[in-house]
Amino acid sequence: MKICVLVMTYKTDLYDYFDRIKRKYLETKDVDYYFLYNGTDKSLNNPKEHNLNYYSNFQHYENPTVPVMWDKFMTFISETAGKYDYVIRVNSSTFVNVDSVIEKIKQHSDKEDLYMGHFNGSLCRQCRCNSVDVDGIKSEFGSGACLVFSNATLEKLFEVSKIFKHNPEARMREDDVLIGVALREILKIPLAYLDWYYFGDQTTIPPEKIVEEALTYPQIRIRNDTNRDLIDKGIWNIIEKKLQL
């Protein structure tokens, strides 16, 4: 089973800090991995250093990552078609427990199509996520924090992307929403559940024992809007310590 972990990231001091720890962790795992940037710096594209880059000058008036995140993911799919049995797509603010996710993949290995993630729209113990209204359909979709795809699913998603390419309204959506629309609403591929631990709205760095518990989950979403330099980096520091990286 050939697996790639694809980190959707961009070049900032904060995300470089998270990615430094994530790189050390991924180096200990028997998987391919890449950090996929978007920018004008050509040096960011260096596969030997596990770095890939996609550039777009598109600027959405509300969110500059729309549709860059979608576009650069589609570019990755097109350039690696058939190379991997599964791709674990994770954003820079999320720690992925590779061993745990692989165990979850094995539980679904009888399925040709696999689309797995945390339901945005379901209730989890750490947060209350909302579903999104997509063209009048109340749709749950997998959070872009961490999504897992089989090769067959990626091939079908790429075919749908050719339709979306000529649909400006679709391309205004966040990438995880658009993935959910393509897979669940168009291709009828259900979302398999992947549990997470969520660190959000923290006012202080959580105790080490709490982070240690979080490390037993397939993914840890680390996104605090208040003082990320202190709290988010503090959580990643504990992860680095607990994993002895």
Which H, E and C letters describe 73-134, residue by residue? HHHHHHHCCCCCCEEEEEECCEEECHHHHHHHHHHCCCCCCCEEEEEECEECCCCECCCEEE
* Residue 96 forms part of a structural domain: yes
DSSP strand pairing (192-193 vs 94-96): unpaired
**236, part of any domain:** no
Residue 238 burial by Cβ neighbours in a 10 Å radius (0-12, 13-18, 19+): buried
Q: Is residue 162 a contact partner of residue 150, using CB atoms and an 8 Å limit? A: no
Q: Which two tokens stand for residue 83?
A: 């190379």
What distance in Å separates the CA atoms of residue 106 and residue 208, rounded to the nearest whole number?
A: 30
Contacting residues for 228 by C-beta, under 8 A, at least 6 apart: 14
Contact (CB, 8 A) for 170 and 209: no
Residue 240 placed within a domain: no
Q: Tell me which residue of 29, 48, 99, 6 sits closest to 245, measured CA to CA.
A: 29
Cβ neighbour number for residue 15 with a 10 Å cutoff: 18
pLDDT tens string 4-43: 999 999 999 999 999 999 999 999 999 999 999 998 898 9
Q: How many CB atoms lie within 10 A of CB 48?
A: 5
Q: Residue 89 sits in a domain of what CATH number?
A: 3.90.550.50
User: Has residue 208 been placed in a domain?
Assistant: no
Rounded to a whole number of angstroms, the CA Rg of the chain reads: 17
Are 3 and 32 spatial neighbours (Cβ–Cβ below 8 Å)?
Answer: yes
| DSSP category for residue 47 | G
Ranges of residues in the chain whose predicted pLDDT is under 70: 121-140
pTM score? 0.91
Residue whose structure tokens are 């075919």: 159
Do you know the residue count of the chain?
245
What beta strand segments (E) does the chain contain?
3-8, 32-37, 51-53, 86-91, 94-96, 115-120, 132-134, 137-139, 141-150, 192-193, 197-199, 219-222
In 10 A of CB 172, how many CB atoms? 15
Residue 168 and residue 16: Cα distance in Å, rounded?
A: 32
The answer to the question of residue 232 being in a domain is no
Asked if residue 243 belongs to a domain, the reply is no
Name the domain count of the chain.
Answer: 1
Single-letter amino acid code for the residue at 185: E
For residue 133, give its domain range.
3-197
- In a domain? residue 51: yes
Residue 181 lies in a domain: yes
The answer to whether 223 and 199 are in contact (CB under 8 A) is yes
